Amino acid sequence: MVKKKIPRIATFDILRGYLLVGIFIDHLNFFPNGLDWWSARGSLFVTMAEGFFLISGIILGIVRGSKLVDVPFRKVAKLLLNRGFQLYATSIVLTLLFTVIAWSFFMGTPGLKPDLAPQGTPIWQLIWETLTLQYFYGWADYLRLYAVFLFASPLFMWLLRQGKWYIGLMVSAAVWLLFPDPQVATGIQQEQAQLLSWQFLFFIGLTIGFYWGELQERWQALSQRVRRGVIATLWMTTAVTIFYSVATTLATMGYDMSWMWATSEIRHELFVHFFDKEQLPLTRIILAMVWFWAAFSFIRMFESPIKKWIGWLLVPYGMNSLYVYTVHAFIIFFLQVYFASGSLLFNLLISLAGIFLTLVMIRYKVLMKIIPR
């Protein structure tokens, strides 16, 4: 394989920025706030998180795969492992820090994030369970998943460099199938097992990123009519499925949406069998892919006006994604323990304050030498 020069793709920065703003709004959970439309309160069949993991895999495949294909594999593996250790350490520190802060100052506070380890848990037990990822706490808990996936990335990257991407995806799919039966596993067991399910989406992205240049060439080789047809199909499928997903959400809020076969009972059955977030069934992965590429193609087509009007927010967020994700965990934690959801205007002001505070921290590079970007 010949090394290809792939410039930074602004579309990914914008899309990742959009996803991160949505994650911030969903985690704060101060609704209604006038921004409900951004991600429908995180209640759709697919959330912002799937897009974030998929795009993380794609970017990693481009930056550490395609761009470094002529670099000795040992150097690439070292870069991946170093990044993995960095994020693992960050995840451990954040879990312990948020736990100690909660124990020391906010026990009994209504806005405290649930699933906190019981106060009085032996410190060595707490440390051991945190180090082994049995316990995680705070609003950056998905860092643990990303860290573990990075630890497994050298092996997957080696297979990609050997042209054996299909073996890597087959192994990833086999691991995905190991997810325990949701009808038997407890809630915490299912959250722990996300290491098995969510890696499949990440490694699909990694494969796409590694072959990004070739995939782009094949896409451009298609006739304009075919490309337009594919994009139109993506947009139409996305519009219909999002509309129906919103309808089922409204049904749970007391609205009568039975006229379009959208009831709270149907929604429950759909999530149990097709869209469970922890298990990440194939139907949810496929829909996540459809929505992701529909969003990518939309942003790609209207990139200039999007950058002009909201690029000042989305691009900095997207270019500093892990920093934003880590910082948002602190902001969300303290906003929720000091404030409670109120009127639409109040919720909007609090949400905007948190979003813009993060932007200010990016602008002035607050703790950027410590927090991974």
Say what the pLDDT of residue 4 is.
54
Please tell me the total count of domains within the chain. Answer: 1
In a domain, 352, yes or no: yes
How far is Cα 331 from Cα 356, in angstroms, rounded to an integer?
11
Task: Spell out the per-residue pLDDT of the chain, length 373, in tens.
Answer: 344 567 889 999 999 999 999 999 999 999 999 999 999 999 999 999 999 999 999 999 999 999 999 999 999 999 999 999 999 999 999 999 999 999 999 999 999 999 999 999 999 999 999 999 999 999 999 999 999 999 999 999 999 999 999 999 999 999 999 999 988 888 889 999 999 999 999 999 999 999 999 999 999 999 999 999 999 999 999 999 999 999 999 999 999 999 999 999 999 999 999 999 999 999 999 999 999 999 999 999 999 999 999 999 999 999 999 999 999 999 999 999 999 999 999 999 999 999 999 999 999 999 998 998 8
Find the domain containing 319 and state its range. Answer: 10-363
What tokens were used for 326?
Answer: 């880590």
Residue showing tokens 């097992």: 193
Structure tokens at 64: 């550490």
Cα–Cα distance, 306 to 136 (Å, whole number):
37
Residue 124 within any structural domain of the chain: yes
**How would you class 150 by CB atoms within 10 Å of its CB: exposed for 0-12, middle for 13-18, buried for 19 or more?**
buried
Q: Please give the helix or strand (H or E) that residue 282 lies within, else none.
A: helix 282-301
Residue 373 domain-assigned? no
| Residue 269 pLDDT | 96
Q: Is residue 25 within 8 Å of residue 324, measured between CB atoms? A: no
Q: How far apart are CA 192 and CA 221, in angstroms?
A: 43
Per-residue confidence (pLDDT) for residue 182, from 0 to 100 = 87
In a domain? residue 5: no
Do residues 326 and 358 lie in contact, with contact meaning Cβ atoms separated by under 8 Å? no
Quickly count: other Cβ atoms within 10 Å of residue 260's Cβ. 11
pTM of the model: 0.95
Check if the beta carbon of residue 365 is closer than 8 Å to that of residue 316: no
Q: Taking a C-beta distance cutoff of 8 angstroms, is the pair 285, 47 a contact?
A: no
| Phi, psi at 249, each rounded to 5° | -65, -45
Q: Residue 129: how many CB atoms within 10 A of its CB?
A: 15
Residue 180 lies in a domain: yes
- Structure-token match 């793709």, residue found: 9
Give the model's pLDDT for residue 6. Answer: 74
Q: Is residue 84 part of a domain?
A: yes
In a domain, 370, yes or no: no
Residue 368 lies in a domain: no
Extract the tokens encoding 256: 């009568």
